[in-house]
Amino acid sequence: MSDLFWLNNEHMARLEPFFPKSHGKPRVDDRRVLSGIIFINRNGLRWRDAAKE
């Protein structure tokens, strides 16, 4: 699964201060969400056309 991520640990460490804090509800994997956003933007896709992974 890690081959699907666009950001490595160094990138995530730099972005970590900008993530919202969890308020009682478990957060989704930020790396997975950001990688999906990058994938959509780089490939010019719509969200509904993206792969589920």
Predicted confidence at residue 26, as pLDDT, reads: 87
d(CA 29, CA 42): 20
Ordered mean pLDDT values, 10 residues apiece, the chain (53 residues): 74 91 86 86 84 71
Predicted confidence at residue 3, as pLDDT, reads: 62
d(CA 13, CA 45): 27
Predicted confidence at residue 1, as pLDDT, reads: 41
Report the 10 Å Cβ neighbour count for 11: 13
Predicted confidence at residue 5, as pLDDT, reads: 79
